[in-house]
Every structure is written in C-alpha cells, then in structure tokens.
Amino acid sequence: MKHLTKTTFVIALFFFISSYHTQAQNTLRYFEFSAPNSYNEWRDTSFVVATSNPTVIALVESELQKRPKDRTLFFSGKLVMGSNGYNKNGPYEFPWHVDENDWSLAQIAIELCDGVPYTDISLNLDYWINTVKMYCGWQTRLKREVFPFSSPCEPICIPVTVKNLSSCENNVVYPTIDNIVTLESYGLDGKVINKLEATQTTLIAATNDGVYYKEFSQKCWNSSNLKSKNVQAIARINASTLICSTTQAIDNLSMPQLHQSTDNGKTWSLLPNNFTENNGQFVKSLAYNPNSNTLYAGGNGVIASSVDGGSNWTLIYGEWNAISKPFLELAINMANNEIWAGGQNAFDMQVVVRFAQNGNILGEWSNLIPAPSTVEKIIIKNGSSTTLLMGGEDGILKSTDNGLNWENIYQVPNQFGRFYFGLTYDEMKPNRIIAASWNKNFEFPQPLILHFSEDNGQTWKVVTTEGISNFTSLFGGARTMLQRQENGKTVLYLGLWKGGVYKAIIEF
C-alpha cells in the first residue's frame, strides 16, 4: 500500500455489484473485513463497517456463504470522521468509519483509494477524509458478521458452521467415515487453533486471533479482550484462573507477554513477570502442577518455574536468551510429580528432558527420531507412572520404563514433514492410542487425518477426509487435540491450522 500525495488522478472504471445510496430500511448490521498487514502493524489487519441497505446485506450474505479463500470481492465506501462507536480492531478504535449507506463490495476501483486502515488512513486522516474521500482496499476481504453492541454472543458472535453465516446456527454434522468417526464443524473457521482447554461446561481456544470461549451447550463462540494477539500457550491454575502467553502475531514473536484470567477466560489482564519482560523471552509452552502449586514455562532453550502464579520465575534448565529453538511441550506426571519437556535444539534435533519436582535433571535425550525432528506432544498414560507417548515430526515414540528405553511405534516410510500434535490414550479403551497430525503446509488445504491403534501401538489404521467431497477445501491439519467423554462415547475436539475447531465422535 502507498502513502499517496497526488492531487490529480485518472479515474478507473468502478464496477459495484450493488447500488449505493439506497435508503435505509432495516436495523444496522455490522461486518468485519480483513486487510493486508503490509507494514507489520496489527491495527491494519481488520476494520468494521455497518449498513442497513438490504441490497448490500444480501450481497454480503452471499459472499459469506463462500469459504474465506473463495471470497474475491473487496470493500469500497465513503469515509466519515469518527468511529461511530463500532469501527474497532481489538482495543484500538479508529478515528473514522464508513458511511453506513454508502458502501458495497467491488471488483474494480481507482488506485488512489487503495490502502490499509491504520497506517494509511488513520495516520493521514485529513488527507483521506478531505481529498481521497473513499476507501477501496483492493486486498480487503469480508471476514464475518459481528455484534459490537448487544448480542446473545457478545462481544463477537461467530457462527458454529463451516460457512461463517450471519447467526449462530447448528453445527454441520457429516456422514460417519468408515463407520469409525463422525465429524462436526465447530466454528472459528479460518483461524489457527494453537491450544484447546476445557472445563465440564466450557471450551476455550487459544488462537492466532486471541482467546475464544463457548459453552458446550451453546452455539456461539465469544471473543475475549486478547483479540488480534497470537496466543501461544494456555494453562489452567484452578476452576476460574488461567495463564496464557502471547506474541504480536503467529509469524511475529515480538512483544512477548503473559496474561491472567480469573473468570475462566472471558477477560484477561497483563501479568507482569520476569520471564517475558526482564529477559525478553517468549513462552511457547505452559504446564501447571496442582500438587506443588508450581507453574512451568518453556521458551527458547529454557525452562523455568514459578510458585506465585507466573510473576516470578526461576530458571531450572538452559540460559536466558539462548540461541536455540523452543521447548514446545511440557507435561506433568501426576503420579510422581516429575516434569517432562520436549522441543528442538539449534541443530534441529529432537530434545527431551525429564526433571524431578525440585528441578534436578533426571534424564536427557536427543535425536530419538533422526533430525530434523521435534517434540510436539507428551502423554503420560493414566494409572501408570512409567508409560509415556511422545508425538513429534515423522514419528510417535513410546516408553514403558519412564524413558530409559524408547520405541518408535509409528512412522510412515518415505513420509516426511508430518507432525503428530494430537496424541492420547482413549480413556474408555486403555489399549487404544489415537493421534491427529498436520502435514508441514501453511498455505493450502489438507485432509484431516486421525490415526488409531487398538493394541498399544503395534498396528495402526488411518481415517482421513481425503477424497471426500465435503472436505476438499478443509484446512484439516491438527495442531492440538482435547479428549472428552460425551454420551458414552469418546469425543475429540481438534484444533486445526486455519481450519478452526472440529469435533470427532469415535463410533467404535
């Protein structure tokens, strides 16, 4: 985008799909548009417009029926001073809005009015309001309908359906695959789901766009006040208190912070601490041991512990500001209070460390799966203090003697770049292992794949959406997985890369 100072320009052809200047007939409805982050400035990433024009609303609803990647029309409308109370991006309130009855979706527009909402318009407001007078961001795209004032899903209602419709509708339930799994779309389509956390009644999603929460009995996702931040990790301290770590964006690890919620994820406050602030480290993983009231955090080559809820940290492994890659996973063995940490070192080698409760190192392993590899998930089997599973890049490892020996129980020959983020023992069938994976692909759809073993990892079968017409556009790579028991069945909640949340009901 450009900071334009031209006073003359050649007008190109406008082609609007629906007419401007239609008299308002209905209550205002509000829509969020995404914008390109050309200046690496989070306030440029989205803005909100409103209209009561039924013709424009019909066009917008038609566009929302499409998958996000298939939405090609961009925004164009007349600029007016003031936010009008709704034009915001997270906590930032724009000093301008768009005339509610003078905008539409376009295919062609003049270059002069192309730009981004904050760096171009807000920082050059007088020029844009009085000279350009229009905003027609060529790369803006319709995201969703929002409810900035009063709504049963305040502050943002996101429909629980694959189509981002304009109200909270029933989940989309798909035909059972191979008589094994029934999938339901569960909302947040288009978002990267980094972690899932749950109570008996509430599901919480840590995403690349903040923290979202919903009641299992409700249809709406609600956004917390961390919108636009990339939430890397989340840990529950008690029934109402959670700690999460954030960075500026999923591909921008600047401004690392810790936040605390005391109302089960609905609102968050900045948590001053000596991990992210004094040492400038971002926190990639979190785990809490209620037996010792100790919170653990993993960063680049470091692991630290806190006994005061995350304010003061004591280093137990590594060095601050180490030139290394992060510890991606932390797990607590509740049977013996040992801590397991896994990640990748500076040489792309898989690293695993086992600690005693007092921080003493009990064991350390590297390159259990030949580099490049990493650790994405560690599971300690319920009822056993010595049986562990470890999911990483291109394999799943198992130990039955607390890490003294490891066996690679699942590795697909000649397949590389597949990461096993989701990994669990089925709580209803103790010999069943379930895994969910992501292929290293950030930009294009991929099938959702679940891997099942009924005999503790000796043999495996795969359930996949590949080749099923309903899922051709799905970003199905799993980045996190949470298990629950519902109506006598094992249910998995899968957080996907750009695919939102899916629910998988195990039918056998």
More confident residue, 192 or 415: 192
pLDDT of residue 160: 30
CA angle 507, 158, 258 (to 5 degrees): 95
pLDDT of residue 279: 67
Q: How many CA atoms lie within 13 A of 237 on its CB side?
A: 21
Dihedrals φ, ψ of 198, to 5°?
Answer: -150, 150
Instruction: Look at the pTM and tell me if it is higher than 0.75.
Output: no
Q: How confident is the model at residue 47 (pLDDT cuts 50, 70, 90)?
A: very high
**Beta sheet of 350-355, edge-to-edge order:** 327-333, 338-344, 350-355, 361-366
Judge whether residue 341 has pLDDT over 70. yes
- List, in sequence order, every beta strand (DSSP E) within 113-241: 134-135, 141-146, 181-185, 193-198, 202-207, 210-215, 222-223, 230-236
Q: Measuring CA to CA, which residue among 363, 365, 361, 339 is closest to residue 351?
A: 365
CATH number 3.40.640.10 given to 272-410: no
Classify 1 as helix, strand or coil.
coil
Q: How confident is the model at residue 109 (pLDDT cuts 50, 70, 90)?
A: low
pLDDT of residue 184: 92
pLDDT of residue 237: 96
CA 455, distance to chain mean position in Å, is 33
Judge whether residue 152 has pLDDT over 90. no
pLDDT over 70, % of the chain: 89
Give the separation between CA 291 and CA 413, rounded to whole angstroms: 42
Q: How confident is the model at residue 227 (pLDDT cuts 50, 70, 90)?
A: confident
Judge whether residue 155 has pLDDT over 50. no
Q: How confident is the model at residue 110 (pLDDT cuts 50, 70, 90)?
A: low
Identify how many contiguous H helices and E strands the chain contains and give both numbers. 2, 37
Q: How confident is the model at residue 149 (pLDDT cuts 50, 70, 90)?
A: low
pLDDT of residue 417: 86
Span 277-286, mean pLDDT? 85
Judge whether residue 108 has pLDDT over 90. no
Q: Taking a C-beta distance cutoff of 8 angstroms, is the pair 340, 330 a contact?
A: yes
- Per-residue model confidence as pLDDT tens digits over 77-95: 999 999 999 999 877 889 9
> How does the average pLDDT of the chain come out, rounded?
86
Burial degree of 36 (CB within 10 A; 0-12, 13-18, 19+)? middle
pLDDT of residue 52: 93
Q: Can you read off the two tokens belonging to residue 249?
A: 């964006």
Domain with CATH 2.120.10.30 in the chain: 272-410
Judge whether residue 156 has pLDDT over 50. no
